Structure 1
Amino acid sequence: MARPQVTFDFFQANAFSDRAFGGNPATILFLDEPLADQVLENINKNFNQPIVVFVSPPKPGTTKKPGVATFGLRWFGPQNGEVQICGHGTLAATGAIFQRLPPAKNIRTLEFQTLSGLITATRADDGKICMDLPAGTTIPATQQETESVRAAFCLALKKPTVALQYVAHGGPGFEQYLFVEVPVSEELAKWTVDSQPLLAFSPRTHIVVVTSASADPAIAYETRMFAPKLGVLEDHACGSAHCLNAPFWAAKHQRPSDFEQHARSVSMRSGDIWATHIQEEDKVRVRGDVKITASGILRLDLADM
């Protein structure tokens, strides 16, 4: 006799790319009702992706708005379970939801209830997904901390020295981030990184964002993100990194609040991100492509729930 099962729709998508083998992959799973955290973690490990996003109905009592659909959103990483925020996962989930929504509903805006508050996303006429994330600040590291970071990167890159222009910790809401600016001469895209030395950073540092100006005048800045403590050697195109990158580069280049910067993730898969620091709203507006690469049905026995 067949065992009773429940089924869930899922999508596989690449964020910040319109290519099948570009950008940052994510799995998006649609839930009709909340599941126990351990079940979510088991599903997450089964998919074994850079991020697994669980989309659920909104909280009871959520007010309905014309043209707006509201969902709950949770992100799970490959090693340490649930994470506070994931930009590329949110972008990918938005693309999957718009793929799934009937056109007759005339929904143009999505609202996500998350651990990091309410996140809003829309789809532009050109098909790109646009979302608002909280803007972050950076707090300059001490000289001693800077030299420790330099030493770690020398080991990670197997180089006698590494030029660092600015080293900082993430401010409120981004305390787990280390922010590092290097000069164009470091050729960030060519870095081959051994992640082991990066584990030596302080216990609070889980995410390392490295950024550089670009030799390409059409690109405002380049970026890479490493998170070995989270089980991610490198995040192919990190959305939340631009919560720090966009305000930093907008200030450095003296850009007005509504100026959109074209950034490039120079990882192996690469990705293109358009980011705007909206100062008066303390937000970063991130825009990019989503490429849906697969869809299917996950089947679970009730006994496994």
Structure 2
Amino acid sequence: MNIPMYIVDAFTDRPFAGNPAAVCLLPQPARDEWMQRVAAEMNLSETAFLVPHEGGYRLRWFTPKAEVDLCGHATLASAHVLWERGEHRRDEAIAFFTNSGVLTAVNNDGWIRLDFPNEAPMLDESPPAVLTDALAVKPLFIGRNRFDYLVEVDSERIVHELQPDFHLLQQVDALGVIVTSRSMTEGVDFVSRAFFPTIGVPEDPVTGSAHCCLGPYWADKLGKTTLVGYQASARGGIVRVTMAGERVHLEGKAVTVLKGELAEEAYVWL
């Protein structure tokens, strides 16, 4: 039995940028403990596990420490691998059955378009003090959705120069914290950074799921339905966002940087 493994840089068109995800193609469901061990071994922000399912694929995502219910870049990486391997024609949509419902991927003239849920933030009028202490910035807005806090700050420079206190940030009762501002760069509407220390990812390079929150927030503020976001991590990446009612369409590119398979000693515990 061969178990193919890939590492794909997502939300970028060049290697060693964007957000790397591992993609594991399984012939059948695996034990949760085994998938968690593989994700810890890969030590990337997420590892995607795909199993053939009627009408598409069952898809689950694990960080090095925990399973998560929504992940954009590893979904984009999974679609890229399936098309690259010839498992689907590039003009075919791919359906992924996940803990956040059915997510689809289509090829849009070289960009991979994901159909994800709208996770707009709601204003938090009493945010925890540990959140603002951890960021040490003056917020213009603090809100949250079912996953994360969203914090708007006054300038792109503040986003770039931000140095959170991760010890304090781990005490925030949320999956992650997204910090954002309007962009001053032509062709880019907003910039962001995203931090998930509670699940073993101090800073995520480019976060698709965060744009399910950022997209509706900035669409409402800027009066636009199509936007471009830049995630200002060290690796950096571009996410195109289109609002579609209760859904958000995320678009990005991807590049394969590693192909291989798990050794027999690794999958004997499957």
Q: 1:285 aligns with which of 249, 259, 263?
A: 249
**What is the CA-CA distance between 1:93 and the residue it aligns to?**
0.8
**What is the CA-CA distance between 1:146 and the residue it aligns to?**
6.1
Listed as ranges, the matches of 1:1-305 within 5 Å are 6-58=1-53, 62=54, 64=55, 70-80=56-66, 82-101=67-86, 105=89, 107-125=91-109, 127-143=110-126, 145=127, 147-154=129-136, 162-170=137-145, 175-184=146-155, 186-202=157-173, 205-255=174-224, 259-279=225-245, 282-301=246-265, 303-305=268-270
Show structure 2 runs of 5+ residues with no match: none
Could you tell me whether the CA contact under 8 Å between 1:45 and 1:78 is conserved in 2?
yes
Q: C-alpha deviations, 1:215-239, integer Å up to 9, x for none?
A: 1132110011001101111000000
TM-score, normalising length: structure 1? 0.84
The aligned length equals 269
Distance 1:278 1:30 in 2: 31
Show structure 1 runs of 5+ residues with no match: 1-5, 65-69, 155-161
Moved more, 111-120 or 45-54: 45-54
SS of corresponding position for 2:163: coil
Distance 1:54 1:128 in 2: 22
Q: C-alpha deviations, 1:153-200, integer Å up to 9, x for none?
A: 12xxxxxxx221000121xxxx23111111116531222333112122
Q: C-alpha deviations, 1:102-148, integer Å up to 9, x for none?
A: 57x565210000110000101122x21110100012221124x2654
RMSD over aligned Cα atoms: 1.7
Distance 1:107 1:37 in 2: 33
Distance 1:207 1:187 in 2: 19
Could you tell me whether the CA contact under 8 Å between 1:152 and 1:200 is conserved in 2?
no
Q: C-alpha deviations, 1:72-127, integer Å up to 9, x for none?
A: 111011112x1101011101111111101157x565210000110000101122x2
Structure 2 match to 1:67: none
Q: Which has the larger radius of gyration?
A: 1
Could you tell me whether the CA contact under 8 Å between 2:83 and 2:90 is conserved in 1?
no
Distance 2:123 2:132 in 1: 14
